[in-house]
Amino acid sequence: MVARLEADGDLGPGPVREALLALPREVLMPQAYVRRSAADEMPPRWELLDWAEPDDREELLAVLHGGQSVLIQHDGEPLLGRPRRGRSGGGMTSMSTVMSLTSSLLEELALRQGHRVLDIGTGAGVTTAVACHVCGDQTVVTLDRDPHVTEAARARLGALGYGPTLVSGNGEHGWPQQAPYDRILITYALPYVPQACVDQLAPGGRLLVHVTTSSPSWPALAVVTRKPDGRLQAQLRAVEYAHRAGHGMNRLYLSAAFRQRIAAGCAEESEARAFRSVQAPPPDEARGFWLALDALHPGLVRHWGAGGLVSAHLAAAPGCLPTRTALVPGASPPAAHATSGAKFTRPPHVGGPPARPRSTTSLSKKAGNSA
């Protein structure tokens, strides 16, 4: 897995690489779910693989080292002492993030020995284990909203010889008891940067969190730093991939039926309007444009498998009509409408959800540039 991350450019030489090489993932995740039903089959069916079962080990190792998300909790269940059996219906409530995303964020944190780290969203404990390996476990705090996840992480990190501070609570409040922190990583997406977490940054500190709307199509990474003099600087960077939305956040869902409607362009006139333009919309790579448009017009969602349709689709969000935009063959997309890495003097949307603009008729060309 580490070699693949290096080959793909998601991991370079340094302490994060050494920590991942030293990490026995089967200790952190001795059980993991695999889906046994088709993607759109309802209700979904999962099987729990268990390292304690010799017949499961080959498949479990492939799951743990495949680089994809590892599903570790179903419907908020306790993780310790659960039986090996199938589950049907419900949903996955905790997982280990795709490793390419995890490794790139850990590298961007630039962890160093002695750093005080707050890891929000413990999950399987992978980022916490890396932070303990690099910084020392006595300066690491990890927080999860689910006490069952916290309990399991305490046992499994302890089995690796790590003793960070493990707590349960609301991640948006941070953990002021041991603030300030040199590094804060929030491992789920939010609609804004939590003010409490910004307040807990030490001078020279850095906070990373994915910021998203109700759409899963165009997320951003907020990078907040506190200067040595206490001033804040933030960068909102449109990205291709991001963490899943946090608990309770409403997201648009592209069901199989809705994807078919988008691809076929067969929505009834009463529920949709189709527009045809001589000028093509900006290309998919102009993520900053689409991020800004989505913020101004909540409800945009992109179906990436919809053939020649390049533009966004308005989903049936409150107050929105599903909209399909078609391209004229041969039309050339205009110049990019975004510059990568727009900088703000204050963190973007710090402290609460952004206010909806009074007018949505124009877009700034200085918006920053997963799916």
The set of catalytic residues is 94
Nearest Cα to Cα of residue 32 among 51, 13, 45:
51
Q: How far apart are CA 222 and CA 220, in angstroms?
A: 6
Q: How far apart are CA 219 and CA 229, in angstroms?
A: 30
CA distances from 323 to 307, 316, 326 (A): 16, 9, 10
Q: Identify the DSSP state of 189.
A: B
Written as six digits, the tokens of 192 are 């804004």
Please give the single-letter amino acid code of residue 331: A
Return the axis-axis angle of helices 126-135 and 99-109, rounded to nearest 10°.
30
Query: What is the distance, to the nearest Å, from the Cα of residue 64 to the centroid of all Cα atoms in its chain?
Result: 19
Residues 6+ apart with CB under 8 A from 234: 193, 222, 223, 224, 225, 343, 344, 346, 347, 348, 350
- Cβ atoms of 285 and 69 within 8 Å: the answer is no
Residues 6+ apart with CB under 8 A from 49: 31, 32, 33, 34, 56, 59, 60, 63, 84
Written as six digits, the tokens of 62 are 């492939």
Q: How far apart are the first and last CA of the chain?
A: 22
Beta bridge partners, 301, equal 313
- Cβ atoms of 124 and 72 within 8 Å: the answer is yes
Q: How far apart are CA 229 and CA 225, in angstroms?
A: 11
Q: List, as one string, the DSSP characters of 344-366.
A: ESS-TTBTSPPPPPS--S---TT
